[in-house]
Chains A and B, each alone.
Chain A
Amino acid sequence: MTTLAQPIEYRGKVINFTPANPKEADIPDEELHEHLFAPSTDRTRRLKGRCRWKHASAGEFVEKGTRAGIERMRLITESHKESRGKPEVIRRALQLAAVLTKGTVVVQQDEFIIGYHAEDPNMFPLYPELSYMNVKDYLQSDYSPQPAAEAEEINNYWKPYSLQSKCEKYFDPIDLTRMYQVSTMEAPSFAHGYNSIVPPYETVLEDGLLKRIDLAEGHIRDAKAEMSKQPWDGTKGLDWISKIDNWEAMVIADKAVIIWAKRHARLCKIVAENFETDPARKEELFEMAEISRRVPAEPCKGLKDAFQVKWYTYLICHGIERYASGYAHKEDKVLWPYYQTSVINKSFQPMTYADAVEMVEMERLKISEHGAGKSRGYREIFPGSNDLFILTIGGTNRDGSDGCNDMTDAILEGARNIRTTEPSMVFRYSKKNRVKTLYHVFECIRDGLGYPSIKHDEIGTEQMKYYAQFSLNGNGATDEEAHDWGLVLCMSPGLVGRRKTMKTRSEGGGSIFPSKILEITLTNGYDWSYSDMQLGPETGYAEDFETFEQLWDAFKKQYAYTISLVIRAKDVSRYMEGHYLQLPFVSSIDDGCMELGREACSLSEQPNGWHNPITTVVGGNSLVAIKKLIYDDKKYTMKQLMEALKVNWEGFEQMQKDFKNAPKWGNDDEYADAVIKRYYEEIIGGEMKKVTNYSGGPVMPVGQGVGLYMEVGSRTGPTPDGRYGGEAADDGGISPYFGTDKKGPTAVLKSVSKVQENQKANLLNQRLSVPMMRSKHGFDIWHSYMDTWHDLHIDHVQFNVVSTAEMKAAQKDPEKHQDLIVRVAGFSARFVDLPTYGQNTIIARTEQQFGAEDFEFLNLELN
């Protein structure tokens, strides 16, 4: 039997929480998720059943047979050797063309959206031009490309050309060694190759690539005419050289993409005529062939075209031209014109709403079997998933009206039906959003998917306007364009659309770890608990800090050193990306690059700099405990604290309890919140904001979690918040440490709302009561909570609605709970694919129960 929430007396009435669906009363808590999988068609049921998941757990691929392919490495290497002497950007275009015209193309049984980025659907490509260490990591594993000797030779060939080799020499070896510890800061992107991008899908769908080729060829003609003008002016005329090279590279790339799509068309036709026996599938294969023959060369005309072109564009931008995580686009806006044509007007590729939902389910399954050739370290920090994929929906249109439409609903309904961890999605919450769509949002959350996460629509829009003022070419987002934003990865808004989008993670992304920085601040910058080396500048020993302010200043110096170093590493990467890792296809589909003859990595029109503080709250709670127990109450001395920390509290049990019980973040506690608000605004954001990046704008904090809260927690020694060494850190940018938020869900909101200055985004993880959310009052409670969250001007929130009973049952019987999904921090994961250490951090999170006081604060009407 399902557990029911206890009745609550509220405003003179007893409120009962009977299930919204009476049939659920008989379902045991332990098996709820088994009743929620509801694919809309037999086809999507089959596709999910045979999905080639590329999930990793503790760094290992879960499915046997998953491994790296060699084809991409081989083809780009052959091309690189053959193209010696040509401009670098042309060489990059020729490498892409080699993969697209000489590589293998794939069509699988049952699928309608086609395309893959490796020579076999069980494989994924590698990128030796990005990081030779990453490829080396694969070569030493069971997932090595074969033949391994050839792969090794290729990797050795690329070593001097790789981004890592190009960048390392501009750094002090001591700084590099500190970065490679991944304990106070993430390793530099030039070493790990992890990346993200926001492809301008709109130009491909709206224009088609033949038009983009025409545009580039027109610019080349014009440029050559300009260069021929008399009298010659070398101060201006030479600028055309790099532009002509860029446009020529765009033409090469786009022509290759058209050929690649038509190769898929031929494959569908050949399979239909020579292999397939089912007449209905034959007919469908011919239709698929017709689509890939026409698009992306020409503009999309219907919804089937749009899904297919979006997928082709995704594969090239995220897996073939270069590796990039993410699935950044405003999907409901991108697809809406084609939905109107096919579903509402039925004038091309006519279909029903249900057909559109099936398309969504099929797209989700394509993402689910997408393989990312990430290093082991990056597989470890996204346990239970294959990579980060976040699409954006909802929000407002350019004119400020509600951005929700029937495509938004179809995206949500498809996601709820098919229950996959990928892609995650974010809903931009505005009070203008229609209730019908909000109910779909709620249903996904209530069913435990962990998505959509919710972002404050107006905060994101204002942020785009703020950054626009720093545009180096005076062409940042207009007030209207500022409404066109989506999440670049888990948390940070960035522009979407035809122009000004982010092309590389060297603009924003990467992490810094305040809890570890605080730990070394206590020991003169030395890391005694993990790396046993000096990780930062010498700023004094804790025992010598006579005042809290001295400790504060030392921490600030350590943090400032670290943030400048990591942003410098990103900007040096960005410089080299623009010179050696150009993206001719991405350039060709960006209106700015096309107009200006610029390369996508080097052109910046809209600054969007950020870096992710992860484990911030452990650091904040530690500062609170030190201030309270050492400097204010003087219950302990710093000497005593350092003695206790050095032995992981052993023999200091009462002291550990006192520090554990010191005021904690997330309880609307005046003392704790005052320290932590200052910490966020003055140091975490304030010091970061002093840094100016490649694009000319300030760098702002995006408080995050992903799986790094576990990984870095394991590398962080005991901390003054009462935490033992090696325990996980806090699970989000501004989330209370698990189990320490004891005053209910609205107390958390009150605490979080106090931090407002110098922040770009902050992840708030909340776990809500399953019986309450699944009750007949669930939607009303959630809706009021969201409106209050909105009024408090909080940037983000995401939810777990999964019971402890079900998670514990899954730990005992993983086979039976393959479909149980949980929100980790910025992404959702299959619970059974998480390591036990990670599973336990989810179980330990406070399951927030709403009480009468919370309802009063929400001003909730309940009947």
Chain B
Amino acid sequence: MATCEGCAFFFRVPEGEDDFEPGKADCVTEHKDQKGKYWLSKPVFENTETCQNYRKRS
């Protein structure tokens, strides 16, 4: 089963951050619609099951 850890949008929360937890990351995705671009970030964990936005890290 693929997990978030291997995703290009998976950005680990650095140690020392107030919300740091082992394996925790920001899932940051780019979106575009007729009004323009925007970026969303939500917390995920390395063993979270992948979602439809999954893109394998190159």
Chain A residues with a Cβ under 8 A of chain B = 50-52, 65, 101-110, 119-122, 255, 258-259, 262-263, 266-267, 270-271, 274-275
With the chains together, A255 CA to B17 CA distance in Å?
12
Contact between B17 and A104, CB atoms less than 8 A apart = no
Which residue from B13, B31, B33, B35 sits with its C-beta under 8 Å from A266? Answer: B13
Chain B contacts for A274, CB-based, 8 A? 11, 28
Contact between B18 and A270, CB atoms less than 8 A apart = no
Which residue from A101, A102, A109 sits with its C-beta under 8 Å from B38? Answer: A109
What is the interface residue range for chain B against chain A?
10 to 19
Contact between B40 and A108, CB atoms less than 8 A apart = no
With the chains together, A105 CA to B26 CA distance in Å?
10
Contact between A104 and B18, CB atoms less than 8 A apart = no
Which residue from B13, B30, B35, B41 sits with its C-beta under 8 Å from A105? Answer: B41
Given contacts A266-B13, A267-B26, A267-B28, contact A275 B18 (CB under 8 A): no
With the chains together, A586 CA to B43 CA distance in Å?
25
Given contacts A52-B35, A266-B26, contact A106 B18 (CB under 8 A): no
With the chains together, A101 CA to B30 CA distance in Å?
20
Chain A contacts for B38, CB-based, 8 A? 106-109, 121
Chain A contacts for B13, CB-based, 8 A? 266
With the chains together, A532 CA to B30 CA distance in Å?
55
With the chains together, A347 CA to B55 CA distance in Å?
45
Q: Which residue of B lies closest to A102 (CB)?
A: B43
Q: Which residue of A lies closest to B26 (CB)?
A: A266
Ranked nearest first, the 10 interchain pairs of A and B with the lowest CB-CB distance are A108-B38, A267-B41, A109-B37, A109-B36, A50-B35, A104-B42, A50-B36, A259-B19, A259-B18, A270-B28
Contact between A110 and B36, CB atoms less than 8 A apart = yes
Given contacts A50-B35, A52-B35, A270-B28, contact A105 B17 (CB under 8 A): no
Residue pairs across A and B with CB atoms within 8 Å: the count is 69
With the chains together, A837 CA to B26 CA distance in Å?
49
With the chains together, A274 CA to B17 CA distance in Å?
20
Chain A contacts for B36, CB-based, 8 A? 50, 108-110
Chain A contacts for B35, CB-based, 8 A? 50-52, 121
CB distance from B18 to the nearest CB of A (A): 5
With the chains together, A51 CA to B31 CA distance in Å?
16
Chain A contacts for B18, CB-based, 8 A? 255, 258-259, 262
Chain B contacts for A104, CB-based, 8 A? 40-42
Mostly, the B contact residues are strand
CB distance from B20 to the nearest CB of A (A): 10
CB distance from A205 to the nearest CB of B (A): 21
Given contacts A270-B28, A274-B28, contact A262 B17 (CB under 8 A): yes
With the chains together, A634 CA to B30 CA distance in Å?
75
6 A-B residue pairings within 8 Å (CB atoms): A101-B19, A104-B41, A120-B40, A263-B19, A263-B41, A271-B28
With the chains together, A258 CA to B18 CA distance in Å?
8
With the chains together, A389 CA to B44 CA distance in Å?
35
Contact between B40 and A105, CB atoms less than 8 A apart = yes
With the chains together, A52 CA to B26 CA distance in Å?
25
CB distance from B11 to the nearest CB of A (A): 5
Chain B contacts for A275, CB-based, 8 A? 28, 30, 39
Which residue from A52, A101, A255 sits with its C-beta under 8 Å from B43? Answer: A101
Q: Given contact pairs A101-B19, A103-B42, A104-B42, enumerate 16 new A-B contacts (beta carbons under 8 Å).
A: A51-B35, A52-B35, A101-B43, A102-B43, A108-B36, A109-B37, A109-B38, A110-B36, A121-B35, A122-B33, A258-B18, A263-B19, A263-B26, A266-B11, A271-B39, A275-B28
With the chains together, A116 CA to B19 CA distance in Å?
20
Chain A contacts for B39, CB-based, 8 A? 106-108, 267, 270-271, 275
With the chains together, A104 CA to B29 CA distance in Å?
11
Given contacts A52-B35, A266-B13, A267-B28, contact A119 B40 (CB under 8 A): yes
Chain B contacts for A102, CB-based, 8 A? 42-43
Chain A contacts for B40, CB-based, 8 A? 104-106, 119-120
CB distance from A258 to the nearest CB of B (A): 6
CB distance from B19 to the nearest CB of A (A): 5
Chain B contacts for A51, CB-based, 8 A? 35
Chain A contacts for B43, CB-based, 8 A? 101-102
Chain A CB within 10 Å, residue with most, of B13, B37, B39 = B39
With the chains together, A553 CA to B30 CA distance in Å?
66
Chain A contacts for B17, CB-based, 8 A? 262, 266
Q: Which residue of B lies closest to A263 (CB)?
A: B41
With the chains together, A263 CA to B43 CA distance in Å?
9
CB distance from A94 to the nearest CB of B (A): 15
CB distance from B29 to the nearest CB of A (A): 10
Contact flags (1/0) for B10-30 with A, using CB distance below 8 Å? Answer: 010100011100000010101
